[in-house]
Chains A and B, each alone.
Chain A
Amino acid sequence: MRPFHPTYIFEVLPQLFPYIGVTIAVTFGTVLGGGLIGLLLAAAKIKRGRIAKVLVNTYVYLTRCIPSIVMLFIVYYGLPELLMVFGIDINNIHKAFFVITTFSILFAANMSEVFRSAYEAVNKGQREAAVSIGMTEFQAFRRILLPQCTIYAIPNFANALVNLIKEGSLAYTIGLIDIMGKGQLIIGLNMGSYSLETYLALFILYWILILLIEKSLKFLEKRLLQGRKILNTAG
């Protein structure tokens, strides 16, 4: 049986710590990019006509069916060639660019559903009431609808975010050095020994990261709901 050194887990962990930043940065970039596209998609689906709705639905359906690793490789190999047609050379760009692009495409589909369901969960009368007391459309959205939508969006957003981080670990397959990539590098440097210990260290890091995100978003949701209860009893 191969030797197993539990203490090596604690030797590897400090080597992995600096790369948590990369994982978080890529996630953050994807949330920004994917969130923005998702917002546009949701807005198109809610406000625009039937054609926009069909197009958005098709987009969500297709991205739901394609495994992220396949998507990652399509973007990694296809995007440079596609942009080359327009005379843009991105062959020397950082790998993170491809990762963020890929996961933004996938995350946008999730987010569009999150935004749409949150928007539809808030009673239409709320907007009408706000407009009728003299608020502008924008004020009604910012002061009345948005705070309520946020509460409805949080659980689904937490789910999407957790999935994003887990799928994001595939980024090492195109050579991005995040915690997963660094773990693979360490295993490579050790000629394949200590692989179990390194994977265990990665398990610990991912689990803690995801538990932290889940717990803090749940806490946020509870805090926001508190305000609502006070309003309800007062009204």
Chain B
Amino acid sequence: MTINTEFMIQTFFDVLAGIPVTLELTFITLLLSFPIAFFMALQKLEKKKVSGKIVSGYVSFVRGTPVVLQILFLYSLLPTILNYLIKEILKLEFDIFSINPMIYAFVVFSLNTVAVLTEVFRSALLTVEHGQLEAALAIGLNKCQAYVRIIIPQAIVSALPNLCNATINLMKSTSLAFMMTVKDITAIAKVNAAFGYNYIEAYLVISVIYIILCTLVQLGYVAVERYFSSYKRFSTN
């Protein structure tokens, strides 16, 4: 067994170019999913409503099927639907196949992450006592103010560990974006490896990069958690 160290160093620097793509995929997806997931979590908390049932069904479906399958399905469905919409209904001259594959990646990963975050937010909102909302409404805040000023600051503390998990899982699943021809870390390494059949080296290099990225994300969350839970430290003193 021989390890081509020269190739590994070369690939390491090549792959660095893919890091912004992976980070972009991860964080823009998170930003897109945040508000939708929060809204859906509120719906799900009211079980009697029809919208709550729909949200539950959606969450169960997304969490019950593999990400690869979701990627393959949407990546073959979305372009045809868009093509139909633009060519047949809007009658526009626009080449649908020139769309940056990143757009599809954002859609696919957001649809997935929304379901994950809905569960995270729902369980976080449940940790805040119902009396808090009632008290806030009783002193004359409206519902929006009550959520922004009273409920969310408390809920976010208990949501952070799960959010961290969700972020890491999302970052790991962006490694599948190469199926949508996005040039992320994994895609670059794959191309490099195929040239001289140096697969082991290439994949070892990217696993090191994923470990570094993961560590950075976790450190970031530790810092955020310290910031948001400061109110707890004061109240115990």
Residue B133 is within 8 A (CB to CB) of chain A in the complex: no
Cβ < 8 Å to A, chain B residues 60-77? 60-61, 63-69, 72-73, 76-77
Interchain CA distance A202-B68 in the complex, whole Å: 11
Cβ < 8 Å to B, chain A residues 89-139? none
Cβ < 8 Å to A, chain B residues 117-142? none
Interchain CA distance A65-B211 in the complex, whole Å: 5
Interchain CA distance A36-B64 in the complex, whole Å: 26
Interchain CA distance A2-B73 in the complex, whole Å: 14
Name the residue on B nearest A166 (C-beta).
Answer: B66
User: Quick check: A206 and B66 within 8 Å, CB to CB?
Assistant: yes
User: Quick check: A1 and B84 within 8 Å, CB to CB?
Assistant: yes
Cβ < 8 Å to B, chain A residues 13-30? none
**Secondary structure dominating the interface of B:** helix
User: Quick check: B200 and A70 within 8 Å, CB to CB?
Assistant: no
Range of interface residues on A (Cβ < 8 Å): 35 or more
Given A1-B88, A74-B207, A81-B1, also A67-B69 (CB < 8 A):
no
Give, as a whole number of angstroms, the nearest-CB distance from B104 to chain A.
15
B67, B168, B206: the one contacting A166 at CB < 8 Å is B67
Which one of A1, A70, A82, A206 has the highest number of Cβ atoms from chain B below 10 Å of its Cβ?
A: A70
User: Quick check: A166 and B65 within 8 Å, CB to CB?
Assistant: yes
Give, as a whole number of angstroms, the nearest-CB distance from A161 to chain B.
12
| CB<8 Å pairs between A and B, sample of 9 | A64-B214, A65-B214, A74-B200, A78-B200, A81-B200, A170-B66, A199-B73, A203-B65, A206-B65
> Which 6 A-B residue pairs are closest in the complex by CB-CB distance?
A65-B214, A169-B66, A67-B175, A67-B172, A199-B73, A77-B199
Q: Which residues of B contact A (CB under 8 A)?
A: 1, 60-61, 63-69, 72-73, 76-77, 80-81, 83-84, 88, 168, 172-173, 175-176, 186, 199-200, 203-204, 206-207, 210-211, 213-215
